[in-house]
Amino acid sequence: MATLACVTSALETIRARNGSINAFTAVLEQRALRKAGTAAGPLAGVPFAVKNLFDVEGLPTLAGSKINRDLPPASRDATLVERLEAAGAVLVGTLNMDEYAYGFTTENTHYGPTRNPHDPERVAGGSSGGSAAAVAAGMVPLTLASDTNGSIRVPASLCGVWGLKPTFGRLSRAGSFPFVASLDHLGPIAANVDLLAAAYDAMQGSDPQDPVCRAGPVEPVSALRGIGGLRIARAVGYFEENAEASVAQAVHRAAERLGAMRTVEIPEAAHGRAAAFVITASESGQLHLQNLRKQPQNFEPLIVDRLRAGALIPAAWYLQAQRLRRWYYRKVMQLFETVDVILAPATPRPAHKIGQETISLRGRELPARPSLGLLTQPISCIGLPVICAPVGKVDGLPVGMQVIAAPWREDLCFRVARELENQPA
């Protein structure tokens, strides 16, 4: 009965709040009530929702687009949805996003913008804006999202919730609509670290349906506590230059609460970001080339020319970007010989207004939509695990901090995240 009550309560909250936030694109009331009756396991009765690029049986996988409405409905759920439900969680709906995940603001022309629960005039971040806003608004405590260049971490930062982008290859991507196969990650967003960890533990494991997914042991994190012995440092250089001073100060204060006085410079971060930018443009443009030829009028107006431009990128640029990842990865791994965890701001600034075309950053005027990923792209470019942790407010709006570790060391990210949760700003 408690399980059913949790799900019923979530459905009522969604009915009451979604109209003003626009996080959900579908609410699966009948399915949720049916499954709630039999849910059992470590996540029993936890209502959750998924970015609408996850396959959900019986629904077309929209990926934020109008074009995909005409696809046949998915014949089964995505692997991660199946795993969460096997642990007792109950799927209650699907969530808004930037079309084909190409954006950082969830200003979706087809389905409307998702609004930031902390200020409905402002963006929720993206591309997983629905996933972060649904948690921040208290509609569900747990959502699934994707992160290619920052699409978990940017909205988690702007909405003040917890997000995990695991190591590239850690969680199965089977049954999700791709954006950039070389860079796509899936992961959870949650209201607290307990739930983030429990969901992550439930979703780990190899999957032959995703060739990228590692065939390694499950490495649970739910019981981990304490940061004793960890070498934690704060990233400066690129990561301070591309964040407003007030955001950098919030990260500095969080680092001090952890006793992390050391600073480091992540080498060649700008090159890493540039490589991610080129790979993203090229792979996404090629992925959608057929539809760009046949029905360009049905694309999101905010991205159609970015996709077209990506489809025309010279092969030499793309291959240089792919090879540079290895060069950059080796340099960053040398840094991890002297440090276990690196802290860095997740977004350059707090959420800006919906419809705003540019943002001001330390005297520079930058295009708003692509620039929100300045601080996240250098990290996902080489697949490092990151938790985005809320670290307080700037001008009344939340900002987040990236807690970054070496590949396959999500355990370290979780130990630091728990410490941060226990010592709030």
Partner 1 sequence: MRKTIDGDYVLAAARIAQLPLSAGDAASVTAQLQRVEEIAQPMLEVALEPNHETGLVWRP
From candidates 189, 311, 368, 417, binder to partner 1 by CB under 8 A: 311
Query: Which residue matches tokens 């480091």?
Result: 264
Q: Where does residue 103 fall: left (phi above 0), alpha (psi -120 to 50 degrees), or beta otherwise?
A: left
What distance in Å separates the CA atoms of residue 78 and residue 89, rounded to the nearest whole number?
14
Q: Which stretch binds partner 1 (CB under 8 A): 227-235, 252-260, 309-317, 343-351?
A: 309-317
From candidates 253, 323, 353, 364, binder to partner 1 by CB under 8 A: 323
Q: Which is nearer to partner 1, 102 or 111 (CB)?
A: 102
Residues of span 178-197 touching partner 1 by CB under 8 A: 182
Q: Which is nearer to partner 1, 214 or 252 (CB)?
A: 214
Question: What is the smallest separation between the CB atom of 285 and partner 1, expressed in angstroms?
Answer: 9
Question: What is the smallest separation between the CB atom of 338 and partner 1, expressed in angstroms?
Answer: 23
List residues with catalytic annotation: 51, 127, 151
Q: 389: helix, coil or strand? A: strand
Q: Among residues 411, 420, 375, 425, which one has the least CA distance to residue 162?
A: 420
Residues of span 349-408 touching partner 1 by CB under 8 A: 367
Question: What is the smallest separation between the CB atom of 188 and partner 1, expressed in angstroms?
Answer: 23
∠ CA(127), CA(107), CA(15), 5° rounding? Answer: 90
Question: What is the smallest separation between the CB atom of 323 and partner 1, expressed in angstroms?
Answer: 5
Question: What is the smallest separation between the CB atom of 165 and partner 1, expressed in angstroms?
Answer: 17
Q: Which is nearer to partner 1, 202 or 324 (CB)?
A: 324
From candidates 292, 351, 386, 417, binder to partner 1 by CB under 8 A: 292
What distance in Å separates the CA atoms of residue 33 and residue 124, rounded to the nearest whole number?
29
129-136 and 2-21 are packed helices; what angle lies between their axes, rounded to 10 degrees? 120
Percentages of the chain per state (helix, strand, coil), in multiples of 5: 40, 20, 40
Neighbours of 162 (CB within 10 A): 27
Contact code string over 154-173 relative to partner 1, x by CB under 8 A? ---------------x----
Residues of span 92-121 touching partner 1 by CB under 8 A: none
From candidates 44, 230, 270, 302, binder to partner 1 by CB under 8 A: 270
Radius of gyration of the chain, Cα coordinates, nearest whole angstrom: 20
Number of residues in the chain: 425
27 scored as a contact of partner 1 (CB under 8 A)? no
Name residues whose C-beta falls within 8 Å of residue 55's C-beta, 6 or more positions apart in sequence.
Answer: 61, 74, 76, 77, 78, 81, 175, 176, 177
What distance in Å separates the CA atoms of residue 403 and residue 244, rounded to the nearest whole number?
18
Q: Which stretch binds partner 1 (CB under 8 A): 7-15, 253-261, 275-283, 400-408?
A: 275-283
From candidates 278, 343, 372, 397, binder to partner 1 by CB under 8 A: 278
Q: Among residues 273, 363, 359, which one has the least CA distance to residue 324?
A: 273
Query: Which residue matches tokens 């429990």?
Result: 198
Question: What is the smallest separation between the CB atom of 272 and partner 1, expressed in angstroms?
Answer: 8
Q: Which is nearer to partner 1, 254 or 278 (CB)?
A: 278
From candidates 6, 274, 368, 399, binder to partner 1 by CB under 8 A: 274
From candidates 26, 313, 335, 394, binder to partner 1 by CB under 8 A: 313
Residues of span 202-241 touching partner 1 by CB under 8 A: 211-212
Contact 115, 130 (CB under 8 A): no
Residues of span 68-97 touching partner 1 by CB under 8 A: none
327 scored as a contact of partner 1 (CB under 8 A)? yes
Contact 80, 91 (CB under 8 A): no
Q: Among residues 362, 359, 339, 340, which one has the least CA distance to residue 351?
A: 359
Q: Is the peptide bond before 131 cis (omega within 30 degrees of 0)?
A: no
Question: What is the smallest separation between the CB atom of 373 and partner 1, expressed in angstroms?
Answer: 11
310 scored as a contact of partner 1 (CB under 8 A)? yes
Assigned token pair, 218: 């499950």
From candidates 15, 253, 293, 353, binder to partner 1 by CB under 8 A: 293
Neighbours of 415 (CB within 10 A): 23
**Binding-site ranges for partner 1 (CB under 8 A):** 169, 182, 211-212, 270-271, 273-275, 277-278, 281, 289, 292-293, 296, 305-306, 308-313, 316-317, 319-327, 367
